[in-house]
Amino acid sequence: MSNIYDVIIVGAGPSGIGVASLLQQMNSTSYLVLEKEEIGASFLRWPKEMKCITPSFPAQGFGQTDLNAVVPKTSPAYTLDMEHPTGEAYAQYLDVVAKHFSIPIKNGVQVNRINKQASIFSIETSDGLYQSRYVVWAAGQYQYPNLTPFPGANLGLHNSLIAAWRELDGDNFIIIGGYESGMDAAYQLGTLGKKTTVIAKTNTWEVEHSDPSIALSPYTYNRVRHLFDSDLLTIVGNTAVTQIEANGKGYDVHTDDGEVYFTEERPILATGFAGSTTIIENLVARGQYQEVLVNDIDESVATDGLFLAGPELRHDDHIFCYIYKFRQRFAVIAEALGSRLHLDVSILEEYKRENFYLKDLSMCGEMCQC
Ligand SMILES: Cc1cc2nc3c(=O)[nH]c(=O)nc-3n(C[C@H](O)[C@H](O)[C@H](O)COP(=O)(O)OP(=O)(O)OC[C@H]3O[C@@H](n4cnc5c(N)ncnc54)[C@H](O)[C@@H]3O)c2cc1C
């Protein structure tokens, strides 16, 4: 393939679509989004019952953008008529945005490896070799679960692999992990009248912190709190699972306090994600939290020209795992690309006005705890 694109974006989720819509508005004519499935594929894999934790509200007419929007002046609440969009609905919103901006996307193209030589990225895909001067890695986390958090974890069932909670056979489950996914699983199964035992390393529902990347969100806490006093939910808090073992009739779940919990059903792993950047390990360096080390414009410190967009982005204590957080860095990346590729960056003024541009991270200090 002889065409060398200015920019290739990997992934057509909120990050890929968000960055691509900026490049389009900057009149770039040489960029392409490569997507292994289709727009919003991760959201299409969410369990049918799952909804966005962060609320959507059409406040854009008053200069406040919907928390789940990826482009200023758009609103999933307005497009979908939903306050907490399902995965399927949110994928529809992304599709509407992509069509509105006529973003060039190649669906069904999986990126397997990227190398850089003489300032050109060679991108090996299921559709052959692509080349570009810059790469924006926006392949997310959801499709890359951590399946080996402790010995025997492969005997469990990762929550990201569950298509619908109502299709799960069994009446009594052990859920490992007590953050959003784990407590959502407890809520969904409790609603179906099924019993759960949640084994949680950290009691996120008791953590006093203003950042929902650390404490359980009010949305999830309010849904699940009535189960705390019922016989449908047993909490084993501040306890880490150390191993799962098969035992003739089911599974023994061992914890760090020496207890063993038995379950007939496969234990549900709500233990997080390894993340897609494992595919580009050769192009990144990692820090103390295993985060990809980036400079102040989200470019890999190990590889010039490779930018990271999405929930794997982390700057010290700033965790960008929600859309309303990482979307504020799309314009930072676009500004860098615009200046290197001599694009029209005037659209960035609108992004700044609409609170879609957070360059100085000292601005995102912690809220007062009142
Ligand atoms: C249980 C749960 C609930 C959540 N709820 C919320 C919420 O309420 N609000 C919120 O803001 N965030 C929420 N999040 C987080 C949010 O879903 C993610 O941060 C978001 O999906 C990240 O967007 P992304 O575009 O970076 O990645 P993704 O949405 O995962 O998109 C990545 C895209 O890249 C494609 N891709 C992957 N690998 C390749 C490859 N090798 N080659 C080509 N294409 C590839 C995928 O098919 C996919 O379409 C939630 C996450 C979870 C797990």
Yes or no: say if 193 and 232 are a contact pair by the CB < 8 Å rule. yes
- Ligand 1 centroid–CA 341 distance in Å is 28
**Which range of residues forms the domain containing residue 58?**
4-143+273-367
Helices (H) and strands (E) in the chain, counts: 9, 17
Average pLDDT over residues 63-82: 95
Q: Is the pLDDT of residue 370 over 60?
A: no
- The encoded tokens of residue 151 equal 């010995």
CA dihedral 166, 172, 174, 178 (to 10 degrees): 60
pLDDT at position 212 is 78
Q: Is the pLDDT of residue 279 over 90?
A: yes
pLDDT at position 362 is 74
Query: Is 91 in the same domain as 29?
Result: yes
Q: How many CA atoms lie within 13 A of 223 on its CB side?
A: 20
CA dihedral 355, 328, 94, 35 (to 10 degrees): 160
Average pLDDT over residues 117-146: 97
pLDDT at position 366 is 59
Query: Is 252 in the same domain as 281?
Result: no
3-class secondary-structure state, position 340? helix
Query: Is 139 in the same domain as 277?
Result: yes
Out of 251, 269, 287, a domain closes at 269
- Ligand 1 centroid–CA 13 distance in Å is 6
Query: Is 86 in the same domain as 179?
Result: no
Query: Is 102 in the same domain as 116?
Result: yes
Query: Is 9 in the same domain as 95?
Result: yes
- The encoded tokens of residue 246 equal 């098969």
End-to-end Cα separation, the chain, in angstroms: 58
pLDDT, tens only, 215-262: 899 999 999 999 988 999 999 999 999 999 999 999 999 999 999 999
Average pLDDT over residues 159-175: 96
CATH number, domain containing residue 200: 3.50.50.60
Query: Is 29 in the same domain as 127?
Result: yes
Per the structure, the count of domains in the chain is 2
pLDDT at position 94 is 98
Query: Is 245 in the same domain as 298?
Result: no
Counting from 1 in the atom list of ligand 1, the atom nearest the Cα of 14 is 25
**Residue 115 maps to a domain:** yes
**Residue 338 maps to a domain:** yes
* Cα gap 301→245, rounded to integer Å: 41
Q: Is the pLDDT of residue 32 over 60?
A: yes
Out of 244, 269, 294, a domain closes at 269
Query: What is the chain's mean pLDDT, rounded?
Result: 94
Yes or no: say if 138 and 10 are a contact pair by the CB < 8 Å rule. yes
**Residue 65 maps to a domain:** yes
- Ligand 1 centroid–CA 310 distance in Å is 8
**Residue 148 maps to a domain:** no
Q: Is the pLDDT of residue 367 over 60?
A: no
Specify the residue with its C-alpha closest to ligand 1, atom 4.
52
Q: How confident is the model at residue 361 (pLDDT cuts 50, 70, 90)?
A: confident
**Distances 185 to 80, 180, 193 between C-alpha atoms, Å:** 24, 8, 12
54 lines ligand 1 (CB under 6 A): yes
21 lines ligand 1 (CB under 6 A): no
